Structure 1
Amino acid sequence: MSKKSTRSSKPKPDPDSGTQSTVTALKKVLYISEKLLSDDDQRLRLDRFYHPGQGKDALFVTHPDGQIMELLEYAEPRRSWLIHSEICSNGRVYMTMPLDATLLALHHLRKHCTQKAMSLENIAVHEANTSRLLTQFVSSDSLGRVADVKVSGDLTFYKYNQERTLAWLSLKTRQVAETLKKKQIHCGHSAQSQNFVRSDKLAEDTVINEMNYTRMACDIVGRYLDADLHDQLVGYLHIPSEIQAIVEEKTAAQKRKSNVGQEDSNRKKIKLNNHDSDAASRLKISGLLDSEDVKDCIISPPTVEPLKERSMTAKEKALAKGAKGTKSIASFFKAK
């Protein structure tokens, strides 16, 4: 057997298999919010709730005081962590992000409370992990913003209200858009880093890309909504399609270039006018033109007319007649 075939026959070790030390396999890199670590007990819990944007259950970090955060995972191929003197083959990064649990509750309200009003206990019967979500992390006030609330004795019933939901989601979208503006995050298909954008161009883009901020904010909020509800929110906010947005950005860029070209042409005209005024002043000093002709040159520089000879006086005519036939003074300095 050749050496090449012997090497290829050996199985490659699996970095995530149990052959490595257990301590290294359990180490993970997690960025967690300080709000979840405010007390000494640090009684955190990992729960699985239905994620409407993903269409399946996802992990969430919860705290007994009612805080809930989504656990995001970023994984890239061929990545690892060097922790002290050990190498952790799991190069994934986990981080927590704050979340309004009402966005998760919308899926269950639209699924069970569209035709009739139901209590949270009845909704939880149909879903496995919904009881903890609706009873501990969603308040009745927040549900009242997206549903009609009816109270009968000790029981509270909720019925999904589409108009209230879209109004509440649009308010959420505008809040996210304002945050993007404060952070000066460039949105749109021609987004660039702020380090490579001039301040005057940045001010123009902020006005032009107003809808781009709304579109990106709508996409951020739509990550936690069902696909049909996200489409309804896009129509409610009158957000144009991406193809139309690309056309509008190209039109705005062409308009900006034409304005720059017009400014350059105006600068050239100013320089030409200054040059013409200087030339007219030199002609006036030379005495070759009359004062009226010089004024005409200053007032209307585009019209170019041939220079007019100044009419000679009687004294100048007599001197010219007397000098006829005489040699010029330059002839005396010629080489003989």
Structure 2
Amino acid sequence: MLSHKKRPAEVHCDQWVLVAPESVTDLPGKTENGPVFTRLHNPCTGEAALYLFDTNAQQLFEVKAFHEDYHSWFIDQTVQHDGRLLLVTPMDPLFMVLYYLIKAEKEQGKFQPLDQIVIDADFPSCSMLLQCAKLKSFLHHVTDEKEIGNKKFYKYNKEKTLKWLNKKVDQTVRALKIGNVNVGPRVQSTTFISGGQGSDVKEEDYIRYAHGLISEYIPKELSEDLAKYLKLPELSTSLPEPPLKKRKASDGPVEAEEDYTKFNSIDLKTKKVRDRAPLLLSRC
């Protein structure tokens, strides 16, 4: 009788392969802190997920895992059984702060200093978001502000937020068109397939696709409000399944199961390729 072996990913590894911009590991001459892995709320689901701050927490990056079953890495003279590829991409920290602004509005409903809004006993590293470059200069897009005695106070503004998200959707639509990404009605928002567009593709398809992408970074309730703001009609019938030529691999936010934070105090072994660096994260 044949038996099926379970995927070896159950074994906790001491190294992973990660693709990240060179800026993540290029440390300046004088620096207080290097790159830091940390757990934060996923702004869409509220669940714990893995993120990365670069040097001195100037830029936030989200960490996603691309994986297929039964894949491994050959690293030097060893076999890395965990065949996942971790992808690190820049993320607007305002999406993360927005999660706390909405939470504070529901619980307090008043103006507060930012450091009293972005506070979390379960995820104390959330305070690092306030160090991100230019974050405070963009808060006016999603908040009302007051200044009392040289101290600023903030309060979530839903109307401003929807206008800001509308601009994000417009930017995404432009990028989709430039990249010639297929956004037809048979394509789901989690799948990118480049190629010629069908004749049935409408502007609404681009907007709906972009809305789906942006919705991965905002709470469900706000996503529904954004759809109404964009005047997207509700889908009356279920769409047919996309073609089977879609990729089998899945990529999604890395849930905080593995202890990647143990690499915060060690050097990263780096092999650079063009403008991105595949990193071998291992314990020294």
TM over 0.5: yes
Q: Distance in 2 between matches of 1:15 and 1:162?
A: 42
User: How far apart in 2 are the matches of 1:95 and 1:122?
Assistant: 32
For residue 32 of structure 1, what is the aligned residue in structure 2? 20
Any idea what the Cα deviations from partners look like across 1:244-295, whole Å, max 9, x if unmatched?
Answer: 6959xxxxxxxxxxxxxxxxxxxxxxxxxxxxxxxxxxxxxxxxxxxxxxxx
**1:106-125 pair list within 5 angstroms:** 106-113=98-105, 115-125=109-119
Please, which runs of 5 or more residues in structure 1 have no aligned partner? 19-24, 248-336
- Whether the 8 Å CA contact 1:120–1:134 is kept in 2: the answer is no
Matched-pair contact (CA < 8 Å) for 2:65–2:86? yes
1:228 maps onto 2:221 in alignment: yes
Cα distance change of structure 1 residues 153 and 174 upon mapping to structure 2, 3 Å threshold: same
Of Structure 1 and Structure 2, the greater strand share is in 2
Q: Match of 2:163, SS?
A: helix
Q: Is the Cα contact below 8 Å between 2:93 and 2:135 reproduced in 1? A: no
2:148: which partner in 1? 152
SS where residue 32 of structure 1 aligns? strand
SS at match of 1:113: helix
Contact 1:79–1:90 (CA under 8 A) maintained in structure 2? yes
* Counterpart in the other structure of 1:103: 95
2:159 equivalent to 1:167: no
The one-character-per-residue Cα deviations of 1:169-210 (angstroms, maximum 9, x if unpaired) are 000111011100000001023359665x5xxxx4844xx421
TM alignment of 1:192-271, pairs within 5 A: 197=196, 202=197, 204-205=199-200, 208-243=201-236
> 1 CA distance for matches of 2:173 and 2:126?
32
Q: What is the RMSD of the two structures over their aligned residues, measured on CA atoms? A: 3.1
SS of residue matched to 1:98: strand
TM-score, reference length from structure 1: 0.60
Assess if the C-alpha contact under 8 Å between 2:8 and 2:82 holds in 1.
no
Q: CA deviation at 1:37?
A: 3.1
Q: 1:241: how far off?
A: 2.5
Equivalent residue letter for 2:137 = D
Tell me the CA shift for residue 56 of structure 1: 1.1
1:136 Cα deviation (Å)? 1.1
Correspondent of 1:135 among 130, 133, 138: 130
**Aligned AA for 1:33?**
P
Secondary structure of the structure 2 residue equivalent to 1:58: strand
Q: For 2:217, what is the secondary structure of its paired residue? A: coil
After TM superposition, the score normalised by the length of structure 2 is: 0.70
Bigger mean CA deviation after superposition, 230-239 or 184-193: 184-193
After TM superposition, the structure 1 = structure 2 runs for residues 37-116 of structure 1, keeping only pairs within 5 Å, are: 37-39=25-27, 43-63=34-54, 64=56, 66-113=58-105, 115-116=109-110
Give the conservation status (yes or no) of the 8 Å contact 1:80–1:88.
yes
Question: 1:161 and 1:91, CA in 2 relative to 1: closer, same or farther beyond 3 A?
Answer: same
Structure 2 stretches of 5 or more lacking a match?
Answer: 241-284
- State the secondary structure of the residue aligned to 2:182: coil
Deviation at 1:212, TM superposition (A): 1.0
Greater helix fraction, Structure 1 or Structure 2: 1
| Aligned mates of 1:193, 1:217 — CA distance in 2 | 14
Aligned residues: 227
The residue correspondences of 1:277-288 to structure 2 (distance < 5 A) are none
Alpha-carbon offset, residue 125 of structure 1: 4.7
Higher relative contact order (CA 8 A, sep 6+): 2
